[in-house]
Amino acid sequence: MATNVEREEQLIELIKESSSKLVVVDFYSKTCPPCRVADAIVNQLAMQYPNVAFYKVDVARFPDVSEKCQVSATPTLQFFRKGKMVDMIRGADKQAITKMVETHSTGDGTETAKAFGVVGHSDLTRLVLKKKSECLNQSDDNPLENVFTEGDSVLESDVDEQLVLHIAFNQPIKLHSLMIRAPADRAPKNIRLFANRMDIGFDDAEASEATQEIELTEDIYKSGGVVNLRYVRFQNVNSLSIYVADNLGDDDVTAIRQLAFIGTAVDTANVSDIRQGEDGHSH
Residue positions annotated with a catalytic role: 32, 35
**Measured between alpha carbons, how far is 157 from 142 in angstroms, rounded to an integer?**
8
Residue 273, Cβ neighbours under 10 Å: how many?
16
- Whether residue 189 contacts residue 247, with contact meaning beta carbons closer than 8 Å, is answered with yes
**Measured between alpha carbons, how far is 199 from 179 in angstroms, rounded to an integer?**
23
Tell me which H or E stretch contains 40: helix 33-48
- Whether residue 244 contacts residue 144, with contact meaning beta carbons closer than 8 Å, is answered with no
**Measured between alpha carbons, how far is 86 from 185 in angstroms, rounded to an integer?**
39
Nearest to residue 220, comparing CAs of 196, 244, 254, 184?
184
Phi then psi for residue 230, to 5 deg, are -75, 90
- Whether residue 54 contacts residue 42, with contact meaning beta carbons closer than 8 Å, is answered with yes
Name residue 246's beta-bridge partners.
none
DSSP 188: B
**Measured between alpha carbons, how far is 172 from 174 in angstroms, rounded to an integer?**
7
